[in-house]
């Protein structure tokens, strides 16, 4: 593009342009005043939180323990999208439930689909089971999942709007032995996390056949006590009367304790199923209590429902999760009739309990070797040396950004490594490295080519003194 020369002829034009330009700026400024950009709120949304690096050792522990038990009990991992069609949840969780009525994050996609952030895991997994024709697989089809879910609920301790669940589901088996095994897996996870004092609560809410009769009895009873119920429960009486039984309001609880109990009104099939489950639990030496008020808040449950609770010395109890049978869900969603059972545990709640009982988080292996460098050539070579060590399975720490050897060695000291490798200008030229034993202070010069073998040998040798952490929670342990 040719430059506009400031000749007499076009001076005017330039001036004019300037004018136009400044006018524009003024216009833009006015616009800015009218619609000032909103400042960015540097906070998570209410009920959501970051999981910071220092928290991750607890999360790692939950992941490792739950993955290990999933593997041991024959569950395969599945991950389903966080977003699903809204009506999947309306149909499965149930129209009259709190979740569907007031807690779902609903939105319309740009394409016009009604979508929802999953409020629980099972509906999506059931959808995937049908969509991918898993009914042809060897049964029971056992699936394990871990991920976040969303409920627009009132946030409080251990209850977030974005929360995480570990979820286990098994499809295609009617036998109550599976119910017992699921309860066993749930208890094992919690106990393997170090939460030893737990209580298993079980109940049977029957099947559609026996629940119809029971529901009538319950509604009659609740109608007679209607004045004593909270506002929500008066409404639930119409939409979902069983939910009155697990209302947290004390006055509703007083009504609920004397209500007819579903276990007393089971059909023959449901009664035998429940009785057999309890026999299996006895056989497992797994202590449980029957809680007739336990109904779970989702419509898809049938027969067995259960929860795992943790208790402290003062008698406070926290529900860590629960689940139950959902023998009609697959059919309701349009698949072929398939009995199923599943449970979920809340990761945030598990971690709060782990901290309360001072359970140990996961300890990641810590580096036992530090690589220090000095001078331009050494710095260049150190990057490659680091990756060579790493490729050979030797965990190394470094502080490449720091200039002085002194400050690098300070980092090495702070990390408590056993060996520091020092690569200076001379060593970089000679193809050698200084290997310093941090416990004895003894230094030796070794050939860079033999470094890997020498380090491997040294790390295995008993003569290397291993530092133990000094009250530092994330301190390293002896890992080869």
Residues 6+ apart with CB under 8 A from 114: 85, 86, 87, 106, 108
CB of residue 290 to Zn ion, shortest distance in Å? 17
Which segment (37-45, 225-233, 340-348, 460-468) binds Zn ion by CB under 5 A?
A: 225-233
Q: Determine how many CB atoms are found less than 10 A away from the CB of residue 27.
A: 10
The window from 21-29, 159-167, 186-194, 243-251 that contacts Zn ion (CB under 5 A) reads 243-251
3-state secondary structure 41-78: CCCCCCCCCCCCHHHHHHHHHHHHHHHHHHHHCCCEEC
**Whole-number Cα distances in Å, 424 to 221, 371, 395:** 85, 11, 21
Please give the Cα distance from 225 to 217 (Å, whole number). 13
Q: What is the DSSP letter of 159?
A: B
Q: Which stretch binds Zn ion (CB under 5 A): 72-80, 250-258, 306-314, 315-323?
A: 250-258
Which is closer to Zn ion, CB of 247 or CB of 320? 247
**Only segment of 101-109, 219-227, 247-255, 415-423 that touches Zn ion (CB under 5 A):** 247-255
Q: Which is nearer to Zn ion, 223 or 449 (CB)?
A: 223
Residue 101 engages Zn ion in binding (rule: CB under 5 A): no
| Region of 5-13, 224-232, 305-313, 330-338 interacting with Zn ion (CB under 5 A) | 224-232
Is residue 252 a contact residue for Zn ion (CB under 5 A)? yes
The site for Zn ion, by CB under 5 A, has a size of 11
> What is the bridge-based pairing of β-strands 198-204 and 288-290?
parallel
Q: Which is nearer to Zn ion, 137 or 319 (CB)?
A: 319
Told to check if 222 binds Zn ion by CB under 5 A, we report no
Candidates 195, 247, 351, 412; binder of Zn ion (CB under 5 A) is 247
Q: Does 267 bind Zn ion (CB under 5 A)?
A: yes
Judged by beta carbon, residue 5 or residue 248, the one nearer Zn ion is 248
Smallest separation, CB 252 to Zn ion (Å): 3
Q: Which is nearer to Zn ion, 234 or 363 (CB)?
A: 234
CB of 294 to Zn ion, least distance (A): 16
Side by side, the strands of the sheet bearing 288-290 are 76-77, 141-150, 162-171, 340-346, 317-325, 302-311, 198-204, 288-290
Q: Is 237 in the site for Zn ion (CB under 5 A)?
A: no
CB of 245 to Zn ion, least distance (A): 10
Minimum CB separation from Zn ion for residue 95, in Å? 19
Cα distance between the two ends of the chain = 66
Residue 454 touches Zn ion, criterion: CB under 5 A: no
233/347 with CB nearer Zn ion: 233
| Cβ nearer to Zn ion, comparing 164 with 236 | 236
Interaction residues for Zn ion, span 154-213 (CB under 5 A):
206-207, 209-210
Binds Zn ion (CB under 5 A): choice among 170, 270, 372, 455: 270
Q: How far is the CB of 119 from Zn ion (least distance, A)?
A: 21
Closest C-alpha among 312, 51, 244, 279 to residue 164: 51
Helices (H), 111-175: 122-131
Residue 194 CB-density burial (10 A; 0-12 exposed, 13-18 middle, 19+ buried): middle
- Phi, psi of 477, deg, nearest 5: -120, 175
Residue number with CB closer to Zn ion (206 or 342):
206
CA-CA distance, 100 to 333, in Å (whole number)? Answer: 16
Give min distance, CB of 273 to Zn ion, in A: 8
Angle at 103 between CA 100 and CA 106, to 5 degrees: 75
Is there binding between residue 249 and Zn ion (CB under 5 A)? yes
Contact 40, 153 (CB under 8 A): no
Closest distance to Zn ion from the beta carbon of 200 (Å): 22
Residues 6+ apart with CB under 8 A from 266: 204, 206, 210, 274
Closest distance to Zn ion from the beta carbon of 260 (Å) = 15
Burial tier of 324 (Cβ tally within 10 Å: 0-12, 13-18, 19+) = buried
φ/ψ of residue 379, rounded to 5: -60, -45
Task: Judge if the upstream peptide bond of residue 140 is cis by omega within 30 degrees of 0.
Answer: yes
Stretch that binds Zn ion, among 140-148, 252-260, 402-410, 467-475 (CB under 5 A): 252-260
**Residue among 62, 99, 233, 433 that touches Zn ion (CB under 5 A):** 233
Sign of CA dihedral 88, 91, 94, 98: positive
Contact set for Zn ion, span 409-438 (CB under 5 A)? none
Give the Cα separation of 325 and 350 in Å (integer).
Answer: 23
Q: Residue 329 Cβ, how far from Zn ion at the closest point, in Å? A: 16
**Shortest CB 272 distance to Zn ion, Å:** 10
Q: Kindly list the residues in this chain that would bind Zn ion in the complex (CB under 5 A).
A: 206-207, 209-210, 230, 233, 247, 249, 252, 267, 270
């Amino acid at each position: 593009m040719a430059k506009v020369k400031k000749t007499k002829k076009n001076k005017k034009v330039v001036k004019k342009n300037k004018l136009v330009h400044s006018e524009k700026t003024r216009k833009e400024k006015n616009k800015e005043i009218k619609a000032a950009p909103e400042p960015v709120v540097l906070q998570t949304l209410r009920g959501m939180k970051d999981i910071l690096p220092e928290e991750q050792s607890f999360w790692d522990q939950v992941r490792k323990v739950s993955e290990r038990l999933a593997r041991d009990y024959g569950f395969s991992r599945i991950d389903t999208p966080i977003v699903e069609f809204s009506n999947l949840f309306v149909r499965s969780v149930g129209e009259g439930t709190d979740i569907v009525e007031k807690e779902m994050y609903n939105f319309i996609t740009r394409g016009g689909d009604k979508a929802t952030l999953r409020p629980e895991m099972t509906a999506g997994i059931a959808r995937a089971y049908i969509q991918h024709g898993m009914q042809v697989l060897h049964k029971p089809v056992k699936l394990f999942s871990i991920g976040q879910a969303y409920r627009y609920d009132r946030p409080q301790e251990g209850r977030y709007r974005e929360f995480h669940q570990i979820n286990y589901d098994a499809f295609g088996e009617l036998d109550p032995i599976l119910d017992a095994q699921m309860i066993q897996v749930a208890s094992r996870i919690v106990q393997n996390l170090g939460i030893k004092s737990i209580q298993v609560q079980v109940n049977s809410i029957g099947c559609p056949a026996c629940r119809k009769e029971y529901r009538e009895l319950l509604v009659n009873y609740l109608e007679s006590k209607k004045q004593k119920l909270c506002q929500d429960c008066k409404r639930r009486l119409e939409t979902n009367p069983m939910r009155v039984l697990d209302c947290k309001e004390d006055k509703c609880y007083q009504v609920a304790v004397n209500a007819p109990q579903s276990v007393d009104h089971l059909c023959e099939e449901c009664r035998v199923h429940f009785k057999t489950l309890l026999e299996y639990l006895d056989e497992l030496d797994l202590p449980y209590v029957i809680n007739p008020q336990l109904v779970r808040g989702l419509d898809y449950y049938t027969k067995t429902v259960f929860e795992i609770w943790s208790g402290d010395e003062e008698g406070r109890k926290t529900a860590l999760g629960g689940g139950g049978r959902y023998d009609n869900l697959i059919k309701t969603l349009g698949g072929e009739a398939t009995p199923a059972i599943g449970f979920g545990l809340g990761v945030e709640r598990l971690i709060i309990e782990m901290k309360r009982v001072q359970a140990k988080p996961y300890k990641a292996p810590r580096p036992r070797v530090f690589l220090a460098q000095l001078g331009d050539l050494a710095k260049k070579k150190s990057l490659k040396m680091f990756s060579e060590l790493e490729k050979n399975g030797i965990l190394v720490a470094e502080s490449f950004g720091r200039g002085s050897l002194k400050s690098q060695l300070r980092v090495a000291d702070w990390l408590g490594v056993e060996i520091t490798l020092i690569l200076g200008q001379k060593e970089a030229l000679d193809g050698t490295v200084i290997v310093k034993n941090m416990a004895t202070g003894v230094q030796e010069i070794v050939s860079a080519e033999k470094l890997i073998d020498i380090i491997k040998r040294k790390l295995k040798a008993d003569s290397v003194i291993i530092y133990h952490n000094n009250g530092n929670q994330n301190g390293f342990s002896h890992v080869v």
